[in-house]
Chains A and B, each alone.
Chain A
Amino acid sequence: MAAKIRQPGWYRALAFSILGVLVCLGLSTGLRAAFSVDPVYDGASVLQISLLMVPIFFLGGIGCFDYWLRWASGRTVVDDHADHGAKSWRDYFKVNTDHKVIGIQYICVSFFFMFIGGLMAMLVRAELASPGRQFVDPNTYNGIFSIHATLLIFLFVIPVFAGIANYVLPLMIGAPDMAFPRLNALSFWMLPVAGTMMLLSFLAPGGSFAAGWTAYAPLSVDAPIGQAFFTIAVQFAGASSIATALNFLVTIITMRAPGMTFFRMPLLVWANFSTSLLVVIATPFIAASQFMVLLDRALGFNFFNPSGGGDVLMYQHVFWFYSHPAVYIMLLPGFGIISEVLATRARKPVFGYRMMAFSLLAIVLLGFTVWAHHMFVSGMADWIRIPMMVTTAIIAIPTGIKIFSWVATLWRGVLKMDTPMLWAVGFISMFTLGGISGVMLAMVPLDIHVSDTYFIVAHIHYVLFGGSMFTIMAGIYFWFPKMTGRMYNERLGKIHFWLTFIFFNVTFAPMHLIGVEGMPRRVSDYAEQFATWNMIISISSFILGLSSLIFLYNMVVSWRSGPKAVSNPWNALTIEWQVSSPPPIFNFDSIPSVVGGPYEYGVPGAVHAVFGDAKPKAVPVAAGAGAAEAD
Chain B
Amino acid sequence: MVVASAIGIAFMLALNWFPAQASNAAPKIDTFWDVLIIVSVPIFVAVTSMLLFSIWRWRQRPGEEDLDGPPIHGSTKLEVIWTIIPTIIIAALTTYAAILLVDIQAAPAKGTRVVNVNGVQFAWGFETPTPAGTVKTAKLYLPLNEPVKFNVRSKDVIHDFWVPAFRLKVDAVPGITTSYNLTPTKLGTFDVVCAELCGLGHAYMRQTVTVLTPERYTAVMAGLARASGATAPAAGATADAIGKQIFVAGNPATGATACGACHAMKAAGTTAATGPNLDEMLKGDNAAGILEMIVYPNKEIVKGYSKGIMPANYASSLTKAQLAALVKYIDQSVHGKG
Chain A interfacial positions (CB closer than 8 Å to B): 133, 137-139, 142, 210-212, 216, 218-219, 222, 306-307, 310-313, 346-349, 351-355, 377-379, 382, 385-386, 389-390, 393-394, 396-397, 400-401, 403-405, 407-408, 410-417, 425, 428-429, 432-433, 436, 439-440, 443-446, 448-449, 451-453, 513, 516-518, 520-527, 600-603, 622
7 nearest CB pairs, A to B: A306-B175, A518-B164, A523-B203, A379-B178, A413-B69, A348-B69, A602-B71
Interface 9-residue window, one of B48-56, B123-131, B232-240, B291-299: B48-56
Contact between chains at A377 and B48 (CB < 8 Å): no
* B158: interface (CB < 8 Å): yes
- Give the docked Cα–Cα distance between A216 and B157 (Å): 9
- For A355, give its contact among B79, B170, B194 (CB under 8 Å): B79
Q: Give the size range of B's interface with the partner.
A: 35 or more
Which of the residues A400, A451, A517, A603 comes within 8 Å of B86, measured between beta carbons? A400
Report A-chain residues with C-beta under 8 Å of the C-beta of B206. Answer: 527
Contacts of B69 in A (CB 8 A): 346-348, 412-414, 601-602
Residue contact A379 to B97, C-beta cutoff 8 Å: no
Q: Are B101 and A413 within 8 A (Cβ)?
A: no
Q: Is B36 interfacial (CB 8 A cutoff)? A: yes
A429-B47, A453-B195 given; 10 more Cβ-contact pairs under 8 Å: A138-B202, A219-B199, A352-B74, A377-B195, A400-B83, A411-B58, A414-B68, A436-B43, A446-B97, A513-B16
List the interface of chain B (C-beta within 8 A of A). 16-19, 25, 28-29, 32-33, 36, 40, 43-44, 47-48, 50-51, 54-55, 58-60, 64, 67-75, 78-79, 82-83, 86-87, 90, 93-94, 97-98, 100-101, 104-105, 152, 156-158, 160, 162, 164-165, 167-171, 173-176, 178, 191, 193-204, 206, 274, 306-309
**Smallest beta-carbon distance A263→chain B, Å:** 12
CB distance from A317 to the nearest CB of B (A): 13
Interface CB pairs A-B, < 8 A, 5: A142-B200, A346-B69, A445-B97, A445-B101, A516-B17
Number of A-B contacts (CB under 8 A): 256
State the CA gap A87–B86 with chains docked (Å): 53
In contact, A400 and B17 (Cβ under 8 angstroms): no
* Neighbouring B residues of A520 by C-beta, 8 Å: 162, 193-195
| Given A389-B94, A396-B90, A452-B169, A379 contacting B176 (CB threshold 8 A) | yes
Q: Which residue of B lies closest to A359 (CB)?
A: B83
Q: In the complex, A312 Cα to B157 Cα: how many Å?
A: 9
Contact A137-B17, Cβ < 8 Å, known A390-B94, A452-B195, A603-B71: no
Whether B51 contacts A429 by the Cβ 8 Å rule is yes
Q: Please pick, from B73, B101, B193, B197, the residue contacting A212 in the complex, using a CB distance under 8 A.
A: B197
**Residues of A close to B64: CB separation below 8 A:** 414
Beta-carbon contact of B93 and A312 below 8 Å = no
Q: Smallest Cβ distance from A265 to chain B, in angstroms? A: 16
User: Cβ of A449 and Cβ of B169 under 8 Å apart?
Assistant: yes
Given known pairs A386-B101, A415-B60, the reply for A353 and B171 (CB within 8 Å) is no
B55 touches A425 (CB 8 A): yes
Is there contact, CB below 8 Å, between A408 and B78?
A: yes
Question: Smallest CB-CB separation from A621: which chain B residue?
Answer: B71
Residues of chain A with a CB closer than 8 A to B75's CB:
351-352, 408
